[in-house]
Amino acid sequence: MTGTFSDSWQLTKTSFRLIREDRALLIFPLVGGLSILGVIALLILGEFWLFAPGLPARGPSGLVDAAAVVLFLVTYLAMVFLSVYCTAALVGAATLKLSGQQPSAADGWRIARARIGRLVVWALIAATVALVIQAIASRTRGVGGLVIRLVGGVAWGVATYFIVPVILYEDLRPWPALKRSGHLFTSTLGRTLVSNLALGLLLGLGIVVAVIVAFIGILLAVGLVAGGSLVLGLILIGVGLAIGVTVALVGAAAEGILQAALYRYATTGQIDPGLFPPGYEGASPLPSAPAP
C-alpha cells in the first residue's frame, strides 16, 4: 500500500514536472477549450436563427424543431471529437516527453492526425453512449435518475480511461480498444485511483483559492467590506478569474499527461529512471508513435 501511494504521488508530480519543463504541452488543452467555445457559440447562433422572435419564418415548426435537434447533435459530436482529438495530441506529445525526447506541438498533432479515423469513430461512440445514459436517466424521476447518471458516468469513465492511448499506440478497433482500456485500468487500479485523487485535490485547492480571491473582490467592489473599493475589487475579481483559468488549463494538461504516464506505467513500468523497481514487467511493450 505504501508503494502504491508513493508511486501515485510520483506519477502526479511527473505530470506537473513535464508542464514546468515544457509549457508547449499547454497548447493542446488551450486549443481544445477555445475550439469547443467556438462550437458552442455557433450552436447558440444557430438556435437564435431558428427560434428568435421577429425573424422571418424558417418553415413548418416541425421542420424547425428537427433542424434544431440535428444542429445540437452535430455540434455535440463536434465538441466530443475536439476534446478527444486534442487529448490524443497531448497524450502523444507527453509520451514522447516521457520517453526522453523533446517533442514540439507539431509532433503531438501529427500523432493524433495519424489516428484521426479511429478517433472520429470513437468520438461518435462516446457521444452516443453519453446521450443514451442521459436519455435513460431523464426517464427516471428523482434520485433514481441521479443514480443512473452517476453510476453510468463513473462506469463509462473507468472503462474508457485508457482508450485514447490505446487507440494511438495499439492496432485495435474501438470496441477491442475499449476492452483493452478496461483491462489496463484494473491492472493499475490502485495507482490510477490514488494519482487521480491527488491531482483532483491539488486542482480543487487551486479552484478554491480562485473563488476566495474573486469573492473578496466582489465584496470590495460592492462596498461590503473595508469601506469598499471598486478598483481593488475589480482587480481581485480579475486575479481570481485568471487563477481559475490557469488552474483549469494546467489541470486539463496534467490530466492528459497523467493518463499518458499511467499508460506507460501499465505497459512498460517506466516513467522516470529509477522510479519503479527493476525487473517490472508491464502488460505489453509500448509501441512507437504511429507514422503520419
* pLDDT range class, residue 190, cuts 50, 70, 90: confident
The pLDDT of residue 289: 44
The closest of 195, 194, 28 to 96, measured between CA atoms, is: 28
Residue 218 or 47, more confident: 218
CB 241 within 8 A of CB 257: no
* pLDDT range class, residue 67, cuts 50, 70, 90: confident
Lowest mean pLDDT among 2-6, 36-40, 281-285: 281-285
CB 10 within 8 A of CB 191: no
The pLDDT of residue 274: 36
Alpha helices by DSSP H, listed for 99-142, are 105-114, 116-138
CB 232 within 8 A of CB 207: no
* pLDDT range class, residue 58, cuts 50, 70, 90: low
* pLDDT range class, residue 221, cuts 50, 70, 90: confident
Q: Taking every pair of C-alpha atoms in the chain, what is the biggest distance, in angstroms?
A: 72
pLDDT tens digits along 248-271? 999 999 999 999 988 988 887 765
Q: What is the DSSP string of 139-183?
A: TS-THHHHHHHHHHHHHHHHHTTTHHHHHHHS---HHHHHHHHHH
Sorted by where each begins, the domain ranges of the chain are 2-268
C-alpha cell of residue 105: 506541438
* pLDDT range class, residue 291, cuts 50, 70, 90: very low
